[in-house]
Structures are given as C-alpha cells and as structure tokens.
Amino acid sequence: MNILVLNCGSSSLKFQIIQTDLEMIEKNADKQLAKGLIERIGSQALVSLQAAGKTAVKHAAPLRDHRAALDHVIKWIISKDAKIPDIQSLADIHAVGHRVVHGAEQFTKSTIITDAVIRGIEDCIDLAPLHNPANLKGIHAARELLGAGIPAVVVFDTSFHSTMPEISFLYAIPYQLYRRHKIRRYGFHGTSHRYVAYRYRQLTGKTREETNVITIHLGNGCSACAIKNGASFDTSMGLSPLEGLVMGTRSGDIDPAVLEFLSHKEGMSMSEIDTLLNKQSGLLGISGLTNDMRDLLEEAKDHQDRRATLAINIFAQRAKKYIGSYLAELNGADALIFTGGIGENAATIRQRICANLEWFGIEIDEQLNNEKVGGKEGEINTHKSRVKVFVIPTNEELLIARDTVRCIVDVPKKS
C-alpha cells in the first residue's frame, strides 16, 4: 500500500509517501517513495518536493491555505515530472495517515478517521490551540481533495504517554481541577519516543517487557521520556509542549510565580506571557541570537559569545537533570537514547549532557560519539559503561504509515 503521511503545522505542511504493508513491516522493508515540505503557507510559500532517488525540486508559490498547499502537492504527485516510483495517478495513493498533536484522554491509540473522531479532535482544541486546528485543516483538505472514501487514520503525539500512571501525570493542584477540566500532564513527541524504543528493541533483541530506557528527543521542541517495561512511565512535556527541557524558543520548566511577576513588572497580558514563554525563550531567549543549535555552536566556538555558551550549557544541564530524575524513577535504566535534529547530529551536546555521569554508570566513547552524526545509528558508550547510550534517528512518518496500515487492516499494533 502507498500511504500519504501528512503533518500540518500552523503555516507548514510536511508529507511523505511510504510504501508499506503487514509483510513489509514484518521484514522492515518499507520504502519511502517521496517527501516534501511547504513552509510559509498564507503568503509566497516555499516548496520543496523530492521523489525517491531524485534531487529535490524547490520553488516558491502563492499558496493561501493548507487546502491550496495540499492541492499543489497532489498535482505534483501525479504529474509526469515527479516520476515517483509506483505512482501514476491518485488511485495509487491507498490511504492517508495524519499526525495530530493532542488526543487528550480520549485517544489512547491511532484510529481511523470518522466524523465522530473529527469532533473528538475538535474537542481537544482547548488543550492544543496552536496545534490541533492546523492538524484539522490537513484532515479536511485531504478529505476534500482525495475524497472521503479514501481510508484515513490519525496518529496522536500524546497516545504513547497514555500509559503514564497518575503519580506521573497529575499536577499537585486541587484534584477537582483535573476532574473538571482534565488539567494534567499529557506529554508529546510520543511517536518519536515510541519509534526509537521500537528500534532499540530491534537493535538489542530485547522484548517490550525488557525495555527500560530513557529516550531524549532534542529538536526544535525537546522532551525526555522514562520508558518502563516498554511503556511511557513519565515524560517531560505536560499539559502543553511548554514544560520540561529547554527548547529552541520554549522556556521549559519555570517557576509559575514568574508569570504573575512578569505581568506586574512588565504589564504583560497572559497571552503576551504565553508568547514570551513559547516563542521568545529557550535557546533564543538566553542567547539573544538564535534558536538554531548549529548556529549557536558556531557562535560559542572558543567562548567568543558568552550568552551563546550560556544557552548551550543551560540546555545541556536541564537534559542532564531529567536523566538523573528518570534514573531515580526507573531505579536505573538499560539505555539512554538520543534522537531529534540535535540529538542525532550534535555530538558535542551529547557529550556535554553525558559528562560526569560515570557515577550513574553512563560513559560515552569520544570517537564513537563523534562518528554518529548525519543519520547514523548505533551505540556510543564505552565498554565500561553500565548504561548503553544510543543515537537512533527518529522516523515518525514511518510509524504513522505503519499505524495507518494496521488500523486499516484492523490488527493489534505491535510497535
């Protein structure tokens, strides 16, 4: 089956076409046929489209909304120029898999889209006002352009964390607020944490039950997850993706008293504070330069820029703190797994995070660490290290495509 995987952000649309079925999943033989990204939807959008084995085609196009963006993608997919393997017409797209950020307590696993499911995703908008509306735009656009008859599945960022126990997900605020408004920690990046845990099992031959690991997704958004017996036991993001680690532009953990203080001192409204914490904080806020780790590392070379260095150090220290607390929660772990753009590529950040953790049994090998960049997978720990340390490139799209197939053929999920 050829699955169109869609991931719609507020002004972006990412897609992949992945060929997979139950047999290909079993053999790990799924194939990526094409991929692309459209950014700055709403104005002169930047488009990048790439068929497997070909170079990416890049251009600008005036695309006013997600429907126009998807229409642009579909026209390319079926055009003669695209030359996507095994795709001649729209009939060669057999199903669509959508990424949806928030599924709240309602959606604990991936599911086929029905009108009731769409209403359920709309019900979660209160909890994810920045994300779910964009995801819904993608769902509606696909239904309109591909027809409601084509099977479609939603995969939620939150579902992997639905196994968290109350002691992990409840905030220490009056319990009735959880009852009344479902204020609790949900966690995000679930598809990524779940994918790398699945790869870890493949690499080590461990069973799900034997999987006791800490996964650390470091991208623009960052989160850590304590996985106990194969299931999410705790994670660093909370009601929203703002909690936890220091991120590109998000503060992560902060004393809630800062909000009142800021409103008092700076005369800021709650929505201005929300923007400050989500869009102007993190690496960008501390450095005053950029949210991009690659650029920050350049600025911090030989300590030329003090605040760039500070931002990197705070970023690494927060990640270290979470590793420590998850090792305590899990009573030790078998492995630490890095993923995400920074986790997969920035050897120096991994080195800083793992420095001085020998007491915990974590020791990384400098050469192995430096080699694992640019999508390379494998171990980076020394032979003395009690805890294995892995770099595992994430592949959320693959998991979305596989879940789509499994939901359609209605068999229990395996990974």
Which residues here bind ligand ADP, judged by CB under 6 A?
219-221, 248, 292-294, 297, 340-342, 345-346
Q: Is 71 a catalytic residue?
A: no
Would you say 400 and 155 are in contact if contact means Cβ atoms under 8 Å apart?
yes
The CA dihedral of 257, 261, 266, 272, to the nearest 10 degrees, is 20
- Alpha carbon of 202 to those of 19, 163, 195: distances in Å? 20, 22, 11
**Separation CA 390–CA 409 (nearest Å):** 33
Would you say 142 and 89 are in contact if contact means Cβ atoms under 8 Å apart?
no
Beta strands per DSSP E along 77-209? 95-100, 111-112, 152-156
Q: How far is the CB of 68 from ligand ADP (least distance, A)?
A: 23
Would you say 261 and 276 are in contact if contact means Cβ atoms under 8 Å apart?
no
Q: How far is the CB of 99 from ligand ADP (least distance, A)?
A: 11
Given the complex with ligand ADP, which of 132 and 339 has the nearer CB atom? Answer: 339
Q: How far is the CB of 293 from ligand ADP (least distance, A)?
A: 4
- Alpha carbon of 52 to those of 55, 84, 85, 318, 406: distances in Å? 8, 7, 7, 38, 24
**Which one-letter DSSP state was computed for residue 412?**
-
Given the complex with ligand ADP, which of 136 and 346 has the nearer CB atom? Answer: 346
Report the run of H or E that residue 127 belongs to, with start and end.
none
Q: How far is the CB of 216 from ligand ADP (least distance, A)?
A: 12
- For ligand ADP, the nearest residue by Cβ is 341
Given the complex with ligand ADP, which of 16 and 111 has the nearer CB atom? Answer: 16
The residue among 268, 277, 276 whose CA lies nearest residue 244 is: 277
The residue among 157, 53, 79 whose CA lies nearest residue 396 is: 157
- How many helices (H) and strands (E) would you count in the chain? 16, 14
Question: Strand, helix or coil at 86?
Answer: coil
The residue among 350, 323, 342 whose CA lies nearest residue 393 is: 342
Q: How far is the CB of 221 from ligand ADP (least distance, A)?
A: 5
Q: Which residues pair with 95 in a beta bridge?
A: 3
Given the complex with ligand ADP, which of 294 and 414 has the nearer CB atom? Answer: 294
Given the complex with ligand ADP, which of 6 and 117 has the nearer CB atom? Answer: 6
Beta strands per DSSP E along 113-187? 152-156
Given the complex with ligand ADP, which of 110 and 249 has the nearer CB atom? Answer: 249
Tally of CA atoms within 13 A in the half-sphere of 275 that contains its CB: 5
Choose, from 21, 157, 234, 403, the residue flagged as catalytic: 157
Q: How far is the CB of 348 from ligand ADP (least distance, A)?
A: 8
Given the complex with ligand ADP, which of 221 and 238 has the nearer CB atom? Answer: 221
**Separation CA 98–CA 26 (nearest Å):** 22
Given the complex with ligand ADP, which of 190 and 341 has the nearer CB atom? Answer: 341
Q: How far is the CB of 340 from ligand ADP (least distance, A)?
A: 4
Q: Give 19's contacts (C-beta < 8 A, 6+ positions apart).
A: 1, 2, 3, 30, 31, 32, 33, 86
Q: How far is the CB of 81 from ligand ADP (least distance, A)?
A: 28
**Separation CA 132–CA 124 (nearest Å):** 7
**Separation CA 83–CA 397 (nearest Å):** 21
Kindly list the catalytic residues: 157
